[in-house]
Chains A and B, each alone.
Chain A
Amino acid sequence: MIPSSKLPRHLKTRVPYPRVAPAPVDMGPPKIEIRKLDFYYGVSQALRNINLALADRSIAAFIGPSGCGKSTLLRVLNRMYALYPHQRAVGEVLIGGRDILGPTVDVADLRYRVGMVFQKPTPFPMSVFDNVAFGLKLAGEVRGSELAGRVESALKDAAIWDEIKGKLHADGRSLSGGQQQRVCIARTIAVQPEVLLLDEPTAALDPISTLKVEETLQALREKYCIVIVTHNLQQAARVSNVTGFMYMGELVEIGPSNEVFTTPKNRRTDDYITGRFG
């Protein structure tokens, strides 16, 4: 038995997580509802009987070891999986009350309503302005004069306007990684989606950029239903209202973040967040 004083710091205490996120506001009807969701990559099952409901104007974080299915869950919500053959979801997923898994759903329209930010920044090969305007032009709903205003407010919402207002016509790929990622967030929120999905959005960023992205998320909470997948437990604790712990394709536990991180109901959640496995 190793004496407690010799343990690495993160294993010593059960409550090392900074808490800034407020408890979930009392929600109206849930923005996202998942019932009996199973997911398959070919014959191997990646998600088993997922049931949950997420509120609007809140941040939900999903944590769990690699391969637990948290990214898969995220990719169901905008049907990204449909881009790849042999991947299928079975069950019921409602976003804003509408089933998104049905055969008649217009996937392009769904993805327009449900934005996604990826782990690696993916600026398009065009100027910063055109990057952010991409989705708006795609929909063709926004006219020229209005476009500049929408781009500006998206960049402001993504907390990058001040850094970048002089470089709107620089190639998006010439920015730093942290700036690229926030431009990608701006690009995603420019179309004012109903839901914002983030798949490990800070995994490829340095700590300072990470902090800025997290501040951005805090600000966006006021407007959107945000779902974030992260390997960084501190991050989940810092930013989320609700945390779900996933393990081997199952949703082990989901609840208010302050409860999940301090008094988890499930033994496996406890083991994971105290660093005993995973």
Chain B
Amino acid sequence: MNRRPLRKLKNWAFLGLSMLATLAGLACLAAILWTLISRGLAGMSARIFTQMTPPPGSAGGLLNALYGSAAMTLLGILVGSPIGVLAGTYLSEYGQTSRLATVVRFINDVLLSAPSIIIGLFIYEIIVVRMGHFSALAGALSLAVIAIPITLRTTEDMLNLVPVGMKDSSAAMGAYPWRTTLSILYPAARSGIVTGLLLAVARISGETAPLLFTALNNQFWSIDLNAPMANLPVVIFQFALSPYKDWQDLAWAGALIITATILILSVAARILLALLQSRGGGGPAQ
């Protein structure tokens, strides 16, 4: 009995279904990007980068929100990434399969997939409530808590990819583990670790929920870390929900800026990884 035609048919059917699913996904993405670009470009102007968020009905920009987002993202990554990188180093080089390392790894996985609003609530409870007011510092800390598990995971994964022979060779030279880690492992895994940092920046620069509970928003220019600070995600959230046309336009422009920034960061991370790997750095060696 010849079953070949049937098998071919099944193959085509399956291929067709998977392509359909892929197209559906890509179409959604294209629609989102198209809406974002067309609406965002309409609202884009030099004012965006030079003026503060306006009251309804008057002209204004997003300068304070752009600054606030940049400042809190930077502070968040400065606080979060050393913890993530060092903890990842512990898991990969020291803890390995010990009980403590296993527990830390599990908790980190939970934290990695925890809804960010929970993290916002956590910082709200332990900092905002105690201090009695919203502040940029609390915002940055909540972003740091989100950045920790991302940098921890990528650091551990990247260090694990360094060939064992390289570590053994360093030990065989009489190097103590800390020296091996600093002089051999970090340089060997550098591109991967940096990629993890960039991805963490991309992730936290778009977070809204944790900032709603911590930094809140500020209509005016403020660089005081102890006061509420404007930031793009919350401004977009507020302005997009408002009934005012000029606010909505600013929200679209802000959304486009955030998306473009994240896109550029992600692409930069990938290019960096490919570039450094092609000349033998990072990742598994030949």
Contacts and interface: CB of A to CB of B under 8 A. Distances in A.
Interface of A: 78, 80, 83, 108-112, 115-116, 118-120, 122, 124-126, 134-135, 138-139, 171, 173-174, 184, 187-188, 191
Contacts of B175: 108, 134, 138
B174 A135 contact: yes
Contacts of B171: 80, 83, 111
Contacts of B188: 124-125
Task: Count chain A CB atoms within 10 A of each CB in B168, B174, B176, B179 and give the residue with the most.
Answer: B174
SS class, residues of chain A in contact with chain B: helix
Given A80-B168, A118-B165, A122-B163, A138 B187 contact: no
A171 B184 contact: no
Given A126-B183, A173-B285, 17 more contacts: A80-B172, A83-B171, A110-B174, A111-B171, A111-B172, A111-B173, A112-B173, A112-B174, A118-B165, A118-B169, A122-B165, A122-B166, A124-B166, A139-B174, A171-B280, A174-B280, A188-B173
Contacts of B172: 78, 80, 111, 115-116, 118, 188
B100 to A, nearest CB: 15
A139 B170 CA distance: 13
Listed from nearest, the 9 A-B pairs whose CB atoms lie closest are A112-B174, A173-B280, A122-B169, A116-B172, A111-B174, A125-B187, A122-B165, A125-B188, A108-B174
Interface residues of B, number: 22
Contacts of A184: 169
A80 B169 CA distance: 10
A115 B174 CA distance: 9
B3 interface: no
Interface of B: 163, 165-166, 168-176, 179, 183-184, 187-188, 190, 279-281, 285
Contacts of A173: 280-281, 285
A124 B179 contact: no
Contacts of A108: 174-176
Contacts of A125: 166, 184, 187-188, 190, 280-281
A243 to B, nearest CB: 24
Contacts, number: 74
A135 B179 CA distance: 11
A191 B168 CA distance: 17
A172 B50 CA distance: 49
A188 B169 CA distance: 9
Contacts of A191: 173-174
Nearest to B174: A112
13 contacts: A111-B171, A115-B172, A115-B173, A118-B165, A122-B168, A124-B183, A124-B187, A124-B188, A126-B187, A134-B170, A134-B173, A138-B179, A191-B173
A197 to B, nearest CB: 8
Contacts of A174: 279-280
Contacts of B166: 122, 124-125
Nearest to B177: A83
Nearest to A108: B174
A128 B80 CA distance: 35
A171 B165 CA distance: 17
Contacts of B280: 125, 171, 173-174
B174 A138 contact: yes
Nearest to B281: A125
Contacts of A80: 168, 171-172
Contact of B168 (A83, A115, A138): A83
A217 B163 CA distance: 26
Contacts of B187: 124-126
A108 B176 CA distance: 7
Nearest to B96: A85
Nearest to B97: A85
Nearest to B98: A85
A120 B171 CA distance: 15
Contacts of B169: 116, 118, 122, 124, 184
B114 to A, nearest CB: 33
A118 B168 contact: yes
Contacts of B179: 138
B184 to A, nearest CB: 5
A83 B173 CA distance: 13
B261 to A, nearest CB: 31
